[in-house]
Chains A and B, each alone.
Chain A
Amino acid sequence: MDEKKWKEVIQRSTRDLKIPDSLSPKEVKDLIKGKSQKKAMNFFPLVLGAGVCALLVFYFIWNEERERIPREEIVLAEGEEEKERGIEEEIKDISILLKGGLHTAKSYEELETALLDWRLENLRKEVSYLEDGAALEDGVATGGYLPRASMGIEEQKQAKIETETAYTRVENYREDVKDDYSHTNVQEQGVEEGDILKTDGSYLYVLNREEGKVTIVKAGGDILKEEGNILLSTLDEEVEEMYLDKERLYLITRGTKHSVEEDRKVRDTYYLSQNGYTTLYTYDIANKNSPKLMGKVEVDGAFRTSRKTGDYFYIFTEYTPQFVTRYTADFEGKEELRGFIPLAGGEKMPASHIFLPDTIQNSSYLVIASVNVHAPESIADSKAMVSSASLFYVSEENIYITLPDFQQGEEETQILKFHYENGNIEAKGAGKVKGRLKDSFSMNEYKGYLRLVTTNYTNEGEKNSLFVLDEQLNICGRVENLAEGETIQSARFLGDMGYFVTFRQTDPLFAVDLKDPNRPSILGELKVTGFSSYLHFYGGSLLFGLGYEVDAYSGEQLGVKLSMFDITDPAKMIEENRHVLQKEYACPALENYRALTIHPQKNIIGFLCGDEYYVFSYEKEKGFQIHLKEKGFSEDVRGAYIGDIFYVADKNKINAYHMKNGFTKTGELNFTS
Chain B
Amino acid sequence: MNENTQWVREAKDGDPEAFSKLYEMVYKDLYKFALYTLKNTYDAEDIVSETIIAAWKEIPKLRRAEAFHAWIFRILTNKCKKRLKEYGEKTVQIQEELLCEEWDVCQELDVRKAFFQLSDEERLILSMNLFGGYNSKEIGRELKMKDTTVRTKQRRALKKMEVCLRE
Q: What residues of chain A have their CB less than 8 Å away from a CB belonging to chain B? A: 1, 3, 6-7, 9-20, 22-26, 28-29, 31-33, 35-40, 123-126, 129-133, 135-141, 148, 331-333
Q: Would you list 30 pairs from A and B whose C-beta atoms are within 8 A, ordered by A residue? A: A9-B107, A10-B111, A10-B115, A10-B161, A12-B108, A13-B112, A13-B115, A14-B36, A20-B41, A25-B21, A25-B24, A29-B19, A31-B49, A32-B20, A32-B56, A35-B57, A37-B60, A39-B60, A129-B138, A130-B74, A131-B63, A131-B67, A132-B70, A133-B71, A138-B54, A139-B53, A139-B54, A139-B57, A139-B79, A333-B148
Query: Contacts A13-B108, A17-B32, A31-B52 known; A38 to B82 CB distance under 8 Å?
Result: no
Q: What residues on B are CB-neighbors of A6 within 8 Å?
A: 158, 161-162
Query: Contacts A32-B19, A38-B60 known; A23 to B48 CB distance under 8 Å?
Result: yes
User: Which among A18, A19, A39, A139 is the interface contact of B55 at CB below 8 angstroms?
Assistant: A139
Q: What residues on B are CB-neighbors of A29 within 8 Å?
A: 16-17, 19-20
Is A3 a contact of B158 with CB atoms below 8 Å?
A: yes
CB of B144 within 8 Å of the partner chain: yes
Is B111 a contact of A13 with CB atoms below 8 Å?
A: yes
Q: In whole Å, how far is B150's beta carbon from the nearest beta carbon of chain A?
A: 11
Query: Contacts A17-B32, A331-B148 known; A31 to B53 CB distance under 8 Å?
Result: yes
Is B58 a contact of A38 with CB atoms below 8 Å?
A: yes
Q: In whole Å, how far is A147's beta carbon from the nearest beta carbon of chain B?
A: 9
Is B52 a contact of A124 with CB atoms below 8 Å?
A: no
Q: What residues on B are CB-neighbors of A136 within 8 Å?
A: 54, 58, 74-75, 78
User: Which among A14, A20, A139 is the interface contact of B51 at CB below 8 angstroms?
Assistant: A139
User: Which among B45, B140, B148 is the interface contact of A124 at CB below 8 angstroms?
Assistant: B140
Is B67 a contact of A23 with CB atoms below 8 Å?
A: no
Is A132 a contact of B41 with CB atoms below 8 Å?
A: no
Is B27 a contact of A28 with CB atoms below 8 Å?
A: yes
Q: What residues on B are CB-neighbors of A10 within 8 Å?
A: 36, 111, 115, 126, 130, 161
Q: Which residue of A lies closest to B11 (CB)?
A: A37
CB of B145 within 8 Å of the partner chain: yes
Q: In whole Å, how far is A77's beta carbon from the nearest beta carbon of chain B?
A: 23
A129, B58: Cα distance in complex, Å: 19
A56, B159: Cα distance in complex, Å: 71
User: Which among A25, A138, A148 is the interface contact of B23 at CB below 8 angstroms?
Assistant: A25
Query: Contacts A31-B52, A139-B75 known; A126 to B60 CB distance under 8 Å?
Result: no
Q: What residues on A are CB-neighbors of B94 within 8 Å?
A: none
Q: Which residue of A lies closest to B126 (CB)?
A: A10
Is A35 a contact of B53 with CB atoms below 8 Å?
A: yes
Q: What residues on A are CB-neighbors of B145 within 8 Å?
A: 124
Interface residues of B in 137-152 (CB under 8 A from A): 137-138, 140-141, 144-146, 148
Q: What residues of chain B have their CB less than 8 Å away from a CB belonging to chain A? A: 14, 16-17, 19-21, 23-24, 27-28, 30-32, 35-36, 41, 45, 48-64, 67, 70-71, 74-75, 78-79, 82, 103, 107-109, 111-112, 115, 126, 129-131, 137-138, 140-141, 144-146, 148, 154-155, 158, 161-162
Q: What residues on B are CB-neighbors of A333 within 8 Å?
A: 146, 148
Q: In whole Å, how far is B111's beta carbon from the nearest beta carbon of chain A?
A: 4
Q: Please give 6 more A-B residue pairs, beta carbons under 8 A apart, in addition to A35-B57, A124-B144.
A: A11-B130, A23-B45, A25-B21, A37-B60, A129-B141, A139-B75
A334, B51: Cα distance in complex, Å: 38
A19, B54: Cα distance in complex, Å: 20
Is A124 a contact of B146 with CB atoms below 8 Å?
A: yes
Is A139 a contact of B62 with CB atoms below 8 Å?
A: no
Is A23 a contact of B31 with CB atoms below 8 Å?
A: yes
Q: What residues on A are CB-neighbors of B19 within 8 Å?
A: 29, 32
User: Which among A31, A133, A137, A138 is the interface contact of B61 at CB below 8 angstroms?
Assistant: A133
Q: In whole Å, how far is B84's beta carbon from the nearest beta carbon of chain A?
A: 14
Is A17 a contact of B31 with CB atoms below 8 Å?
A: yes
Is B62 a contact of A126 with CB atoms below 8 Å?
A: no
Q: In whole Å, how far is B165's beta carbon from the nearest beta carbon of chain A?
A: 9
Is B23 a contact of A132 with CB atoms below 8 Å?
A: no
Query: Contacts A40-B60, A124-B146, A331-B148 known; A32 to B53 CB distance under 8 Å?
Result: yes
Q: What residues on A are CB-neighbors of B75 within 8 Å?
A: 133, 136, 139
A22, B27: Cα distance in complex, Å: 11
Q: What residues on A are CB-neighbors of B51 within 8 Å?
A: 139
Q: Which residue of B lies closest to A21 (CB)?
A: B45
Query: Contacts A37-B60, A133-B75 known; A125 to B53 CB distance under 8 Å?
Result: no
Is A38 a contact of B111 with CB atoms below 8 Å?
A: no
A12, B108: Cα distance in complex, Å: 7
Is A25 a contact of B67 with CB atoms below 8 Å?
A: no
Is B54 a contact of A37 with CB atoms below 8 Å?
A: no
Is A22 a contact of B130 with CB atoms below 8 Å?
A: no
Q: Which residue of B lies closest to A146 (CB)?
A: B63
Q: What residues on B are CB-neighbors of A123 within 8 Å?
A: 146
Q: What residues on B are CB-neighbors of A11 within 8 Å?
A: 130
Q: What residues on A are CB-neighbors of B155 within 8 Å?
A: 3
A158, B92: Cα distance in complex, Å: 55
User: Which among A15, A32, A148 is the interface contact of B16 at CB below 8 angstroms?
Assistant: A32
User: Which among A17, A124, A133 is the interface contact of B58 at CB below 8 angstroms?
Assistant: A133
A70, B158: Cα distance in complex, Å: 57
A24, B28: Cα distance in complex, Å: 9
Q: What residues on A are CB-neighbors of B45 within 8 Å?
A: 20, 22-23
Q: What residues on B are CB-neighbors of A35 within 8 Å?
A: 53, 56-57
Q: What residues on B are CB-neighbors of A9 within 8 Å?
A: 107, 111
Is B148 a contact of A332 with CB atoms below 8 Å?
A: yes
A378, B12: Cα distance in complex, Å: 61
Q: Which residue of B lies closest to A6 (CB)?
A: B158
A1, B126: Cα distance in complex, Å: 17
Query: Contacts A3-B158, A40-B61 known; A17 to B35 CB distance under 8 Å?
Result: yes
Q: What residues on A are CB-neighbors of B52 within 8 Å?
A: 23, 28, 31-32
Q: What residues on A are CB-neighbors of B162 within 8 Å?
A: 1, 6
Query: Contacts A6-B158, A148-B61 known; A139 to B144 CB distance under 8 Å?
Result: no
Is B58 a contact of A139 with CB atoms below 8 Å?
A: yes
Is B20 a contact of A38 with CB atoms below 8 Å?
A: no
Is A37 a contact of B59 with CB atoms below 8 Å?
A: yes
Q: In whole Å, how far is A136's beta carbon from the nearest beta carbon of chain B?
A: 5
Is B57 a contact of A124 with CB atoms below 8 Å?
A: no
Q: In whole Å, how far is A468's beta carbon from the nearest beta carbon of chain B?
A: 37
Is A19 a contact of B31 with CB atoms below 8 Å?
A: yes
